[in-house]
Amino acid sequence: MIQRNLVIVLHWSSVFLILTMVKGGVSEPWVLALFAGLVAVWSGMTLVKGLMGRPGPKLSPRLKRAYPWVHRMLHVLLALTAIAIVFRLVGHPLWFLDAWTLLLVTLAAGTFHGIFHFWRHTALYDNALRLILPRFMHSML
């Protein structure tokens, strides 16, 4: 249960930090460092324990096969964004990993990720949003 709660906090903190950075134009150094730290913790957890989410039983076989790979790609994208931000923070931006571009790509990919899970929750009725929303919000679903 502790892992689930930590992943929920990391997930939603990352979302709001990405929005903060986009609004602030790759924001304050403390926001950048906090984002990089959150992604490092989340990536470490994923490398050690694996993905927490599993494809639901109502997904088609094709989507069930794609599900873990798409989530792994989202984790890689988050990690690349955090790496680019760290290099920017220390004053050595990478020419091949632009932090601002990666941040926008991560925001777009995260938006599609959210739409997919919203579709699962509403069209397939598999309660996908209950997995990632805090318990106090379950009554609103």
Longest pairwise C-alpha distance within the chain: 48
Q: Contact 51/72 with Cβ under 8 angstroms?
A: yes
CA 59 to chain centre: 21
pLDDT tens per residue across span 91-134 = 888 888 888 889 899 999 999 988 988 888 888 778 777 777 77
47 burial (CB, 10 Å; 0-12 / 13-18 / 19+) is exposed
pTM: 0.85
Question: Structural domain boundaries of the chain?
Answer: 2-140
pLDDT tens per residue across span 7-61 = 888 888 888 899 888 887 667 888 899 999 999 999 999 999 888 878 888 888 9
Residue 72 has pLDDT above 90, yes or no: yes
